């Protein structure tokens, strides 16, 4: 009886920990500001547009934010 009870308690603790991690992840996601255009795909990722910007920097070997804004402007509308 003790083994099954500890198994149930362990399962409940693991489920509670997973739920807590999921809620922390959702709370850490970027929050778009009202009336400001944003990339909807980036709003679903923890680091927002950073991964796409890093791919651009690695591909072109330069940092040029104006170019980034120009290329993604249509996404934000």
- What is the total count of domains within the chain? 1
Range of the domain at 57: 2-72
Residue by residue, DSSP assigns the chain as: -HHHHHHHHHHHHHHHHHHHHHHHHHHHS--PPTTS---TTGGGSTTTTHHHHHHHHHHHSS--HHHHHHHHTTTT-
- pLDDT on residue 12: 95
Tens digits of residue pLDDT in 30-67 = 888 888 888 888 888 888 888 888 888 899 888 766 55
Is residue 37 a part of any domain in this protein?
Answer: yes
Residue 35 lies in a domain: yes
CA distance linking residue 44 with residue 36, whole number of Å: 16
pLDDT score recorded for residue 43: 84
16 within a domain of the structure (yes/no): yes
In a domain, 77, yes or no: no
């Amino acid at each position: 009886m003790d083994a099954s009870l500890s198994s149930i308690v362990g399962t409940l603790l693991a489920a509670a920990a997973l739920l807590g991690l999921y809620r922390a992840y959702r709370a850490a996601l970027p929050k778009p500001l009202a009336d400001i255009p944003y990339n909807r795909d980036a709003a679903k990722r923890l680091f927002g547009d950073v991964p796409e910007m890093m791919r651009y920097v690695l591909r072109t070997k330069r940092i040029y934010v104006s170019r980034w804004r120009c290329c993604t402007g249509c996404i934000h509308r």
